[in-house]
Amino acid sequence: MATRHLLRLIVVQSLFEWFFNERKENLKDIFERNLKNFASDVQDPEFGYRLVEGIENKLPEIESRIMKYAHSQWPVEEIPLINLSILRLGIYELLFSDPKEVPPKVAINEAVELASILSNEEAVKFINGVLASVYKEKYGPESNPL
């Protein structure tokens, strides 16, 4: 498994745990523990640390996009926590990552791939649709993420 893909998986797992436990523990501490337990041999975990820090810092903006684009397809309070965790990662990468480092297509593809591993086909379509809407908000309604 590629390093960045593995780090994204650990970020999603850490987000899930953080929200499941009502954000009582520090997200970075959760990420460090999960990194140690599941990928202690990763050579450069800095990418994962940047994601965790960025998501935590931009959480209000990320949550507003989830509310804006997910509610028409699924009531937000009914979205499984794993799907919300994947959306938080995908929206962060689309809106706040350097597109030269993480091209939008890669951000969407990674989130969809994580959904196919961690959730179900309905979630894959849902996450792809929400992220396509976020992409169009950022790059224009005529743009196509794929």
Q: What domain range includes position 18? A: 3-139
Residues 108, 38, 7: CA angle, nearest 5 degrees: 25
Q: Which amino acid is at 95?
A: L
pLDDT digits (tens, 9 = 90+) for 20-71: 999 999 999 999 999 999 999 998 899 999 999 999 999 999 999 999 999 8
Residue 74 lies in a domain: yes
Which pLDDT belongs to residue 1?
Answer: 62
CATH number, domain containing residue 90 = 1.10.940.10
What does the chain come to in residues?
Answer: 146
**So what's the pLDDT on residue 146?**
64
| Number of domains making up the chain | 1
Residue 145 lies in a domain: no
Res 28: pLDDT: 98
